Structure 1
Amino acid sequence: MTTSTSGPRRRDAAGTRRLLLDAAQHRFARNGYTATTVRDIADDAGVNVALISRYFTSKEGLFEACLLGAVDELGRTVTEDVTLDQVPHTIAAQLAGPHTGQFPNRLLLLLRSSGDERADRIRLDILQSFSERLAAAAGLRAGDPDREELVLRAQVTLAASFGIALLRASTALEPLSSAGRDDLLGPLQDLVGGLLRRP
């Protein structure tokens, strides 16, 4: 008779990696990069700390992986071919969709400096790229004389969207906290239209 080597202590690689990413995302967002230790993350995930080195090489590598997860999230919010009329719908869907629990943590990661130059460069590049996508949805093209103003307006839109997500996650401010997708859509259409629509 053979005995199974699988059991509650054994996890598949993808599952363990996901546990570590979720735990790290929460810790980095809440405590910041410097105050978070790899042991904190491993303990939160319920795995051996050595697995961080196995799957992510280092704390910096894990932080970078969390940032890339935030990139994917934002990439789904505003794709390169999105139109300006679609932007409020996609932002509202992210703010009030089924996965909103992780969304504020991903946003906080993009707002926190890590102290690691490479990770911070990635973070700033992500925010810049997303701002330019929003500006492109508003009609920004190569050589546009209004480029700086359009990118600034896109960054203000981005900042307002982040603020909405963070307030919804961290306060019981009503009716914002419990507003659904349809409730948010009207104000977001006014916000995006007022900031990004060219005359």
Structure 2
Amino acid sequence: MTSPSPTRRRDAARTRQLLLDAARHRFASDGYAATTVRDIADDAGVNVALISRYFQSKEGLFEACLTSAVDDMRRAAGSATLAEVPERIAEQAAGIDSDGFPRQLVLLLRSSGDARADEIRAGILRSYAQNLAVLAGWQEGDDELLLRAQVTIAASLGIAMLRSKTKLEPLASATKDDLVGPLTDLIEGVLGRRA
């Protein structure tokens, strides 16, 4: 008598991560509107129904990707001081994916064509700017310092976008170490203590 074949045990955390990785790649490369849930599921090698199970919808998956990208950036920053921020931004801009594509930063910038997705993105960028402003001494109501933090983020996103979409040299092939100096100058100039 043959024994029944063992049932394949689902690894929910692994499946969820596969979907996040595939979605992050697709959303950053193709944009929100051009990406289908079937594309993401196929890239992840899972059934498309699992997107609904873990994320409720494409919008939910997009929000999870944005949140995950910011969480990864926060983890990378850890309890960074303002002086350490240039190196942390350089790490992100230089690209942590195997192909060197700075997906996390590009994902935060890429136009989605969807009002709700853009609202989610704006909220995450607003939060990230406030966290950066706090490192520079920001307190509620200090609109100038918050603006300076937003300008710093805009410059960082611009670096990531130019690196991913153009072959503008030497920026396109700059390493993390190459980027730290200019980013340090930028952040000190924009966020440094005001007289």
Query: What TM-score, normalized by structure 2, do the two folds share?
Result: 0.83
TM-superposed CA distance for 1:42, in Å, is 1.4
1:52-109 Cα deviation digits (max 9, x unpaired): 1222222122112111112212323545x53221211221233336447586322233
Which residues of structure 1 form unaligned runs of 5+? none
Query: What TM-score, normalized by structure 1, do the two folds share?
Result: 0.81
Aligned in 2, Cα 1:105/1:97: closer, same or farther, shift over 3 Å? closer
TM-superposed CA distance for 1:161, in Å, is 0.7
1:170 aligns with 2:165: yes
1:153 aligns with 2:154: no
Aligned in 2, Cα 1:195/1:165: closer, same or farther, shift over 3 Å? same
TM-superposed CA distance for 1:185, in Å, is 1.3
Letter paired with 1:33: Y
Letter paired with 1:158: I
Please tell me whether the aligned partners of residues 96 and 102 of structure 2 are also in contact (alpha carbons under 8 angstroms).
Answer: no
Aligned structure 1 segments of 4 or more residues deviating by more than 6 angstroms:
none
1:139 aligns with 2:137: yes
Moved more, 96-105 or 70-79: 96-105
Secondary structure (helix, strand or coil) at the match of 1:176 reads coil
What's the counterpart of residue 193 of structure 1?
A: 188
Secondary structure (helix, strand or coil) at the match of 1:89 reads helix
How many matched pairs? 192
Moved more, 26-35 or 53-62: 26-35
What's the counterpart of residue 124 of structure 1?
A: 122
What's the counterpart of residue 60 of structure 1?
A: 59
Query: Take 1:92 and 1:77, find their aligned partners in 2: how far apart are those partners?
Result: 11
Letter paired with 2:177: D
1:91 to 89, 108, 115: 89
